[in-house]
């Protein structure tokens, strides 16, 4: 099939690469010419495991192209994906400016029947709005499909190639059939392709992210209660997770969720529900708990050193909002570092992939280490903020030697309290 993907970000580039991997002809479109030129030159604008190799191979084999010429890409395609950002608007709603702008541009470029696919996460009713915009701009036939994306950054290629399910919202059987055919090669192991109405497809995405965010905030509150009563959240988590109705995933407490999806999607679902006069009470609490949780590690640091951190150097391990990505959108590391700086601390940070992004956020306000152990030199404490694999089993003797005082604040519970005590560290984690 001939496919255009508009928006070459964390989602669009993965979608484009994976569809081309199956033999489709794909052109990825972005208005950011810098990104397009990088990709044409074989360089990656983002870090995502396994993506670079797939992009390079399909580009070389001429199944995957990059352009900033949206009209040209639309004319040459049968299916056009919209995968642009839907950031949080000022009132918490999803900002649909990019989606609507792209829909209009697609409509103006049409030269025959096109299937226009909403891949971006968009509020219920957006497919209908896109339909109206396109109808206004063209006399050519078209269908609008809602095809929300469930991939996880850090495992995006795998998730797209082997999805748990594919959701297709389509009112038009011809478009639904085409979308099913496009996705069949990805679901040979039996994952369901679910065809439904557009509003249900749109809501499925928000409901999935919202329940995952709810699990995280819920366990963060359980961890906070563990701290108050001297219970061990690891034990509680294992006991709770072994109930098959609950499951073991997303029960790890920490410093709050971040990223470009959960925070904005929780707020957007709350917001568009309230547009219909429905108060989504649980999600308001999920969001409030998350805001609170982002301050928990700093409170623990304060409890140890006192309110002022003047003269203290804090090493930070992990800046990305989660491991295996360079993405720092809404990363808990940002408010944590800002709070430490406001209290007068000096911050030395290290992340395996997010250093470039971090420099754009903090500039010269913090120092950046090129190796994980370098960040520890003369530090009064280490704060673990992202649970990258390389932090899990470090050389503790080396850490102790490098630091001014052996103090660790573990925001991801990756070390064992008994072991840390035996090694002579002052160790604080979440809910243990
Ligand atoms: N990041 C994730 O893990 C993830 C997962 C599932 C769904 N989503 C959803 O997918 C959508 C995209 O997310 P993302 O993380 O890929 O965003 P992103 O910011 O990484 O990428 C968006 C891209 O769209 C481009 N763009 C914006 N306006 C454009 C226009 N008019 N013409 C051409 N290109 C344009 C931007 O330059 C950017 O490169 C969002 O709705 C998001 O909620 C994201």
The 10s digit of each residue's pLDDT in 258-315 is 999 999 999 999 999 999 999 999 999 999 999 999 999 999 999 999 999 999 999 9
CB 103 within 8 A of CB 122: no
For ligand 1, atom 4, the nearest C-alpha belongs to: 11
- Tell me the pLDDT band of 55, cut-offs 50, 70 and 90: very high
d(CA 152, CA 4): 22
For ligand 1, atom 7, the nearest C-alpha belongs to: 149
For range 37-64, the mean pLDDT = 97
Closest ligand 1 atom to 153 CA: 3
- pLDDT score, position 61: 98
Burial label for 90, CB within 10 Å (0-12, 13-18, 19+), is: exposed
Closest ligand 1 atom to 152 CA: 3
Residues annotated as catalytic are: 261
> Per residue in 410-424, pLDDT tens?
999 999 999 999 999
For range 246-253, the mean pLDDT = 97
> Per residue in 324-374, pLDDT tens?
999 999 999 999 999 999 999 999 999 999 999 999 999 999 999 999 999
Mutate to test the pocket of ligand 1, among 84, 94, 325 (most ligand atoms within 8 A of CB): 84
For ligand 1, atom 21, the nearest C-alpha belongs to: 9
- Tell me the pLDDT band of 221, cut-offs 50, 70 and 90: very high
For 44, residues 6+ apart whose C-beta sits below 8 A from its C-beta are 38, 51, 52, 55
Mutate to test the pocket of ligand 1, among 6, 8, 10 (most ligand atoms within 8 A of CB): 10
For range 208-226, the mean pLDDT = 98
- pLDDT score, position 271: 97
> Per residue in 170-201, pLDDT tens?
999 999 999 999 999 999 989 999 999 999 99
d(CA 207, CA 82): 21
- Tell me the pLDDT band of 91, cut-offs 50, 70 and 90: very high
Instruction: Give 401's Cβ-side CA count (13 Å radius).
Output: 7
- Per-residue burial over 118-129, b if 16 or more Cβ lie within 10 Å, else e, is bbbbbbbebbeb
- pLDDT score, position 29: 98
């Amino acid at each position: 099939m001939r496919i255009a993907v508009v928006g070459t970000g964390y989602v669009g580039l993965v979608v484009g690469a994976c569809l081309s991997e199956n033999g489709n002809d794909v052109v990825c479109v972005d208005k950011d010419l810098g990104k397009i030129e990088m990709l044409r030159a074989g360089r990656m604008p983002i870090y995502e495991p396994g993506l670079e190799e797939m992009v390079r191979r399909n580009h070389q084999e001429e199944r995957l192209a990059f352009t900033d010429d949206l009209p040209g890409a639309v004319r040459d395609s049968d299916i056009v994906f919209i995968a642009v950002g839907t950031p949080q608007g000022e009132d918490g709603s999803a900002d649909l400016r990019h989606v609507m702008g792209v829909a209009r541009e697609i409509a103006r470029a049409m030269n025959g029947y096109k299937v226009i696919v909403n891949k971006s996460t968009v509020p219920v009713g957006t497919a209908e709005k896109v339909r109206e915009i396109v109808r206004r701009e063209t006399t050519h036939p078209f269908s609008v499909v809602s095809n929300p994306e469930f991939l996880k950054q850090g495992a995006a290629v795998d998730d797209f190639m082997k999805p748990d399910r594919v959701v297709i919202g389509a009112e038009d059987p011809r478009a639904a059939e085409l979308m099913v055919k496009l996705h069949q090669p990805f679901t040979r192991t039996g994952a369901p392709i679910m065809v439904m109405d557009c509003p249900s497809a749109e809501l499925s995405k928000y409901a999935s992210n919202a329940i995952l965010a709810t699990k995280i905030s819920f366990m963060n509150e359980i961890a906070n209660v563990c701290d108050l009563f001297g219970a061990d959240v690891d034990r509680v988590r294992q006991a709770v997770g072994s109930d098959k109705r609950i499951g073991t995933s997303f029960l790890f407490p920490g410093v709050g969720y971040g990223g470009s999806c959960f925070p904005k999607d929780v707020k957007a679902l709350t917001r568009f529900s309230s547009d219909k006069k429905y108060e989504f009470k649980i999600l308001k609490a999920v969001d409030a708990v998350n805001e609170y949780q982002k301050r928990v590690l700093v409170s623990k640091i304060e409890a140890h050193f006192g309110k002022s951190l003047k003269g203290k150097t804090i090493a930070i391990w992990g800046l990305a909002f989660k491991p295996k990505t360079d993405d720092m959108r809404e990363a808990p590391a940002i408010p944590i570092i800002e709070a430490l700086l406001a209290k007068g601390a000096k911050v030395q940070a290290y992340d395996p992939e997010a250093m470039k992004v971090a420099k754009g956020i903090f500039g010269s306000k913090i120092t950046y280490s090129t190796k994980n152990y370098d960040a520890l030199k003369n530090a009064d404490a280490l704060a673990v903020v992202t649970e990258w694999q390389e932090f899990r089993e470090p050389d503790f003797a080396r850490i102790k030697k490098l630091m001014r005082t052996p103090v660790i604040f573990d925001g991801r519970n990756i070390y064992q309290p008994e072991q840390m005590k035996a090694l002579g560290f002052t160790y604080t984690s979440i809910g243990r």
